[in-house]
Structure 1
Amino acid sequence: MSTSVRPEPVRPVPPEPVRWALLHQHWADVVFLHWKVDPDVVAPLLPPGTTPDLHDGGTWVGLIHFRMQRLGFGPLPGIPWLGSFAETNIRLYSVDTEGRRGVVFRSLDAERFLPVLAARGVAALPYNWAPSRVDGRVAEGEEISYRTVRRFPGPRGAFSRTRVRTGAAIAEPDPLSHFLTARWALHTRRPLGTVRWPNDHPRWDLHTAELLDLEQDVAAAAGVPGIDRAPDSVLSSPGLPVRFGPWHRLRRSAPGA
C-alpha cells in the first residue's frame, strides 16, 4: 500500500507550529501498546484520501491509554472537572494525498458523557462513553492500570484492562518509537470529505514499559481484527501539553498525480 506522493519525514518535533489553537489539553500517564499488522487488513478502515502509513514493511495498530487533563478551547483556560477524564483509544496510522502522516481513530472511550457527545457531534470523532478507573502513575519502577467498560453508544460492554510497569527513560528513541508517537495530525471523515486536523506538542519523554496484564475486546469492537497476541511495542510517558489547530479538507489527489 502506498500513496501517490512520498510521505513526509518522521520528525520527533512538529514540522510547523499550530498558529491558533482551537483546542488545548494535557495528556498525562500515557501508555502505548502497538501491534504490527498487514496493511491490507486496515486499509479498508481508513477514510477516503488516506492509505496505511508503513514502517518496516507493515503498518501498526495502537491501543493508547492516558489521562486527559483540563481540556480547553481557544484562549480560554482548561475546564477543571468536565475537561479531565481517562481516555482509551484504538488508532491506525495514515498518509494522505499531500504526503502528510497522521492517525485515524477507530474508537475513543472516555469517562465523561458530555465531552463524548460534543466530540461526536462537532468533531465527527468516534467517541464512546466508557466509565473508567485508573490506578497508579507513569514513573520509573511504578505500575499503572487502566480499566474501561463501554456504555454508549456501543457495542455496550466492550472493555479493556491494561497494567504496565514503567522502566527507564529512553535517551534516544529508535525510529519505530518516533514513528508511533510523533504524529502531527489526525485524519477523519466528515460529511463534506476527509479532513486533516493538525496538532503540536513538545518532544515525547518516552520510557520503556513492561506489560503485566492485558485483556481487551475494544480492538475487535472497532473493526480491527487479529489483535489477540502480545503487543510488539510497549512504551509509556509521563505526558505533555498538546494543541490542535483548525482542520482543513484534503485535496482529492496530489498535484500532478
Structure 2
Amino acid sequence: MLERRWLEMTWRDGLFCHWPVDPAVAAETLPDRLSVATHGGDAYLSVVAFVMDDIRPRGTPVGLSFPELNLRTYVEGPDGPGVYFYNLDADDRLGVAVARRLFALPYYRAAMSATSRSDGTVRFRSRRTHRGVPRARFDASYGPTGGAFAAESGSLDAFLVENYRFYADGKRLYRGEIAHEPWTLREATADVRANTLFEANGFDRPDGDPIVRYAEPVEVGADRIRSV
C-alpha cells in the first residue's frame, strides 16, 4: 500500500498483449541497476493500452481523461521487482511536457482515441505526433472472449499484470509506485492492424502471437515519481 496517494484515477478499456522473448533481447536495453525478470525462462515485451479516466490530485473533484499506450518489460531493480517502460505515449500535452521537462521520462505526445462499441469491443488508435523522435502507430480492435478471473499467485498472468512498481530511465533512474485491487482479467482477442512500437524502440518484431488479456476497470492510486 502507498503511504500517500498523490493521484487518483480509474483505468478502463485495458488491453495487455504479451510476447515472450529471449532474456538477452531485453537485457541489452536496460540501464544499470536493472536486470531482466523472467517467468519459465522467458522475458516478455508487452504492449499495454488503456484509458486513464478522471485523473486528479487527491481531494480534487474533477479530473482529466486520456488514452495511454506503452511498451514495457519486467525487471528486478534496487527497490524490488517492477516494470520498465520504453515509451509512454499519451494524448495529454501538459502531462507529457511536465514529465519530460522534470524527469526526462520517455513520454511522447500522440493523437489517440479509444472508442467502445456496442458489441463490447474497443477500437484503440494512436499516432505519435511528438517531434524529433521515431514515429509510432498502433491501431487495434479488442474485446473479451471469456469469463472473468483473477491471476493466481505465481502464475504467468500474475507475473505479467500484478505489478505495482515501475522504473524509467530519464535524467537518472526513476521509480513510481501504484496501488489498486488485483486485476479482473478476461481472455481476449485483438485485431491489430498496425503496431510499430517495437521498431520505434529498436526491437525486431517478436515471433508468434501474443498472449492477449482484456482488463476490467480498476481504481488506482499513484505516488509521486522519485529517483532511485
Q: Identity of aligned pairs, percent?
A: 26
Q: CA, structure 1 residues 118+249, in 2 after alignment: closer, same or farther (shift >3 Å)?
A: closer
Structure with bigger strand share is 2
Distance of 1:229 and 1:78 partners within structure 2: 43
Please state whether the residue corresponding to 1:33 is helix, strand or coil: strand
Q: Which runs of 5+ in 2 are unaligned?
A: none
Residue 142 of structure 1: which of 104, 115, 120 is its match?
120
CA drift of 1:24 comes to 2.1
Please state whether the residue corresponding to 1:170 is helix, strand or coil: strand
CA drift of 1:197 comes to 1.5
Please state whether the residue corresponding to 2:28 is helix, strand or coil: helix
5 Å matches for 1:227-238? Answer: 227=206, 229-231=208-210, 233-238=211-216
- What do the CA deviations read for 1:121-158 (whole angstroms, capped 9, x no partner)? 23432111110122226x9x621121111111354542
Runs ≥4 in structure 1, deviation > 6 angstroms? Answer: none
TM-score by length of 2: 0.89
Q: CA, structure 1 residues 102+131, in 2 after alignment: closer, same or farther (shift >3 Å)?
A: same
Residue 44 of structure 2: which of 30, 55, 60 is its match?
60
Q: Is the 8 A contact 2:150 2:182 kept in 1?
A: no
Q: Is the 8 A contact 1:42 1:224 kept in 2?
A: no
- What do the CA deviations read for 1:101-124 (whole angstroms, capped 9, x no partner)? 111110111112122112222343
Residue 106 of structure 2: which of 126, 147, 151 is its match?
126
Distance of 1:39 and 1:25 partners within structure 2: 33
Aligned to 2:5: 21
Distance of 2:133 and 2:226 partners within structure 1: 31
Distance of 1:146 and 1:171 partners within structure 2: 23
Q: Is the 8 A contact 1:24 1:78 kept in 2?
A: no
Distance of 1:144 and 1:214 partners within structure 2: 13
Q: 2:116 is aligned with what amino acid?
A: G
More displaced stretch, 44-53 vs 119-128: 119-128
Q: 1:145 is aligned with what amino acid?
A: R
| Structure 2 residue 14 is the aligned partner of structure 1 residue 33 | no
Distance of 1:34 and 1:108 partners within structure 2: 16
Q: Which runs of 5+ in 1 are unaligned?
A: 1-16, 251-257
Residue 209 of structure 1: which of 183, 188, 191 is its match?
188
Distance of 2:14 and 2:70 partners within structure 1: 11
Q: CA, structure 1 residues 215+25, in 2 after alignment: closer, same or farther (shift >3 Å)?
A: same
Distance of 1:209 and 1:91 partners within structure 2: 20
- What do the CA deviations read for 1:35-70 (whole angstroms, capped 9, x no partner)? 001111111222321111110101111101101112
Aligned to 1:170: 148
CA drift of 1:249 comes to 4.2
CA drift of 1:229 comes to 4.2
- What do the CA deviations read for 1:170-205 (whole angstroms, capped 9, x no partner)? 3353511111110010112343x4233211111111
TM-score by length of 1: 0.80
Q: CA, structure 1 residues 155+229, in 2 after alignment: closer, same or farther (shift >3 Å)?
A: farther
